[in-house]
Structure 1
Amino acid sequence: MSTALRKVRGRGQVYGVKSAPYAFLLPAVVLFALFFALPIGYALWLSLHKVEVVGLGLGKGAREQVWAGLGNYAAALTDPELGVGTLRVLGYGAIVIPVMLGLALLFALLLDNEQARARSFSRLAIFLPYAIPGVVAALLWGFLYLPDVSPFHFLLERLGLPQPDLLDGGPLFLSLANIAVWGGAGFNMIVIYTALRSIPAEVYEAAKLDGATPVQIALRIKVPMVAPSLVLTFFFSVIATLQVFSEPTTLRPLTNGIPTTWSPLMKVYDDAFVGGDVYAASATAVVLAAATFVLSFALLRISSSRMTHRGSR
C-alpha cells in the first residue's frame, strides 16, 4: 500500500471519529428545533402581531394580520384576570409546596431508617400516585369531592357532622392542593431518597460513635447533606405550581367555583381556543415563561449563594 493511500485512509478515519459525536447529537438537535425552539419562535412572532378588522369583518380581506409591537404585552400585563389568576396560583403554591416537600422528606427519612421494613413496597406505594395521569387523578378526586357520590359526605352525614363544600370557596384551594400533593410527593421522595442512599455509611457510624440518636442523625446530618436535592425539588415544585392547568380544568365542569381563568395557563387557553385570540394568548404565554425563568434564576442564585456561604464556613 502506498504512503499516499495510507494518508488518505488515515484522514478519513480521523474525520469519521471526529464527526461521530455530531451524528449522534443530530437527532436530538432536530427534535429540539422542531418541537421546542420553533414553537417558541412562532409564539414570539404571534405575540408581536394582531388581527385588524375592516368594517363588519366579512368578506375577503376584511381581517388582516398586522404588526402590533408590544401592544399585546401591555394588554397582558394590565389584564386584571391574569393578575387575579396569578394570586390564586401563589396561594395554591403556598399550600402545595411546603406540604408536598415536607411529606417527601419525611417519607425519604423513614425509608432510609435502618429499622424500616418493606422498603421496596413502600417506595412503590408512595411513588405510584405520580404515575397516574393528572387528568385521571383530578377526575378520581373530583368525584370523591362531589356531595352526591362522595363516601366522605355519606359518612359525615351518618355521623351528624357538617359537610363542607370542597369544590367552592376556601376549601377549593385545599382540594386542588390535595391532588397535587397526592401525586407529587412520591416523585420528590424518590429524588431525596436517592440522595440519602448516596451518603457514605461511615458518616452515620461516626455519628453513632459520638452518641447521636436517629433523630439527631436525621436532622443534623441527613437533611443538610441532601440540601441540593431539596433545592432541586423546590425548583421543580415552583415551576409545576406556576403551570397548574389540568387539575382545575378537569374539576371545572363539576363546580361553579372555578372560572375559566382560574390560573394563568387557563387564561391562555381561554384566550386562544375560546376567545380565538391566539396573538394575545401568545403574549401572555411569553410573559408567563419569562416570569418563570426570572423567578427560577433568582431562586437558584439565592440558593447557590447560601450554599457557597455555608461551605466557606
Structure 2
Amino acid sequence: MSILTRPRKVAIDSPARRSSPRRAGSRGAHKGLLFALPFLLGFLATYVVPIGYAFSQSLHEKKSSGLGFGPTRIVFTGFTNFASILGDGAFWSSMLRTLLFGAAQITVMLGLSLLLALLLDGVAARAVRFFRAALLIPYVVPAVVSTVMWLFLYSPTGSPLLDLAHRAGTDIEFFGGLTTYLSLGNLLTWQGIGFNMILISASLQALPRELYEAARLDGAREWRIAWSVKVPNITGILVLTGMFSLIGRLQLFAEPLLLRQIAPESITTDFTPMMEIYDKAFKTGDYQYAAAESLVLAVVTGILAFVFYRVTNRRMS
C-alpha cells in the first residue's frame, strides 16, 4: 500500500487523559491563590501578626521586685488588664467624648458634602470638574500638614484671624470649653468634606436621568427632585460614608495631639482613646496596658460600626 493510500491514525483522547472540570477548576483556584498571595502575605504581616502580638502583650504586666526599686520583669497575668480597663473612667470618658463629638461633626460634614454634591449635579460638566478638584485639595493634603496649617491659624500669637478680629474690635478664642470642639470640628470638616462630596457626587452621576425627566414632567421643581428623587436613591453611599467617618473619629489622634501644643488645658492627654493609649504606651511606659486598651478600642469600633450600618441601612431601605 502506498503512502498516499495508507490510512492515518486518529488520536482519540482517552477519558483518563481528558482533563476533568474539577481538575481545571482546582488549577484555576491555585492560580488565583498565587495572584492573591502578595496581598495575603502583606495582610498577615501588617494586620494579623501585630494583632496577635498585641493580644500576647495584653496578657502580661510589668512588675517591679521588692518595694518598687528593683529590676522590672514582665509576668503573665491573664485578663487582668482587661478587667482594669472596665473600671478605667478616663478611657471610657474619652470614648464617650469622642462619640458625642463625632455624632455632631459627622452630621455637619456629611450634610455639607451632600449639599455640595447636589449643587454640582446641576451645573455644567466643566464647572463640576473644577469644583471637584478644588474641594478635593484639603483631602489630598496630609493630615499632619493641614493640622499644622490650622495650628498657625489658631495660634494665639501669630494668627491672622485673631489679628483681624482685634482690628474689628472683637475677641475670639479658639480653645476653651465648647470652642475647642468647634475648632477641632472645623479642621476635620475641612479635611473630609471634599472626599465625601466626591463619593456622593459619583453616586448621583450613576442615577438614570430618566428619573429626573419623569419628575419634571410631573411638575416637580429642582429642590423637590433633589429631596424626593436623588437623596432616596443614594442612601447606600450615605450610610457607607457615615460608617467610615465614625471609624475615623474613634481613631482620632494626630489632629488633637498637634493642637494640644497651643491648648494643653483644653485638650488633655486623654482627650481621645488613641491619645490615652499613646500616653500609656510612650509616656507612662505601660505597653501591656496600652495593648489591652487598643484591642478594646478595636472591638468597640467594630461593634459600633456594625450596629450603625445595620440600623441606618434598615431605616433607609
Q: CA deviation at 1:7?
A: 6.3
CA 1:219–1:285: 2 relative to 1, 3 Å: same
**2:227 aligned partner:** 219
Structure 1 stretch displaced more, 147-156 or 264-273? 147-156
**1:269 aligned partner:** 278
Q: Does the Cα contact within 8 Å between 2:60 and 2:76 map onto a contact in 1?
A: yes
Which 4+ residue blocks in structure 1 deviate beyond 6 angstroms? 1-9
How does the TM-score come out when normalised to structure 2?
0.89
Does structure 1 residue 32 correspond to structure 2 residue 43?
yes
Q: CA deviation at 1:298?
A: 1.1
**1:181 aligned partner:** 189
Does structure 1 residue 93 correspond to structure 2 residue 90?
no
3-state secondary structure, aligned to 2:73: strand
1:13-92 → structure 2 map (5 Å cutoff): 14=24, 16-55=27-66, 62-92=71-101
- Give me the whole-angstrom Cα distance separating, in 2, the residues matched to 1:259 and 1:18: 53
Match of 1:305 among 305, 308, 314: 314
Q: Does the Cα contact within 8 Å between 1:101 and 1:234 map onto a contact in 2?
A: yes
Q: CA deviation at 1:143?
A: 0.8
Deviation per CA, 1:116-164, whole angstroms, max 9, x where unpaired?
A: 7611110011111011111111110111011221111111111111x22
**1:135 aligned partner:** 144
Looking at secondary structure, tell me which structure has more helix per residue: 1
Structure 1 stretch displaced more, 67-76 or 111-120? 111-120
3-state secondary structure, aligned to 1:65: strand
Identity of aligned residues (%): 41
- Give me the whole-angstrom Cα distance separating, in 1, the residues matched to 2:16 and 2:125: 65
**1:104 aligned partner:** 113
- Give me the whole-angstrom Cα distance separating, in 2, the residues matched to 1:303 and 1:253: 38
Paired letter, 2:173: D
Q: CA deviation at 1:296?
A: 1.0
RMSD across aligned positions (CA): 2.3
- Give me the whole-angstrom Cα distance separating, in 2, the residues matched to 1:86 and 1:229: 26
- Give me the whole-angstrom Cα distance separating, in 2, the residues matched to 1:5 and 1:42: 54
3-state secondary structure, aligned to 1:64: strand
3-state secondary structure, aligned to 1:130: helix
Q: Does the Cα contact within 8 Å between 2:165 and 2:172 map onto a contact in 1?
A: no
Q: CA deviation at 1:65?
A: 1.9
- Give me the whole-angstrom Cα distance separating, in 1, the residues matched to 2:75 and 2:11: 67
Structure 1 stretch displaced more, 140-149 or 193-202? 140-149
Q: CA deviation at 1:4?
A: 9.1
**2:163 aligned partner:** 154
Q: CA deviation at 1:64?
A: 2.5
**1:311 aligned partner:** none
Structure 1 stretch displaced more, 294-303 or 222-231? 294-303
Q: Does the Cα contact within 8 Å between 1:110 and 1:116 map onto a contact in 2?
A: no
Q: CA deviation at 1:307?
A: 4.1
**1:236 aligned partner:** 244
**2:6 aligned partner:** none
Does structure 1 residue 292 correspond to structure 2 residue 301?
yes
Paired letter, 2:55: L
How does the TM-score come out when normalised to structure 1?
0.90
Structure 1 stretch displaced more, 122-131 or 69-78? 69-78
Count of equivalent residues = 304
Q: CA deviation at 1:2?
A: 8.5
Q: CA deviation at 1:58?
A: 6.4
Structure 1 stretch displaced more, 79-88 or 118-127? 79-88
Q: CA deviation at 1:80?
A: 1.9
Structure 2 residue runs of 5 or longer lacking an equivalent are 1-9
Q: CA deviation at 1:305?
A: 2.7
- Give me the whole-angstrom Cα distance separating, in 2, the residues matched to 1:218 and 1:4: 64
Deviation per CA, 1:10-38, whole angstroms, max 9, x where unpaired?
A: 58x94644421010011111111110011
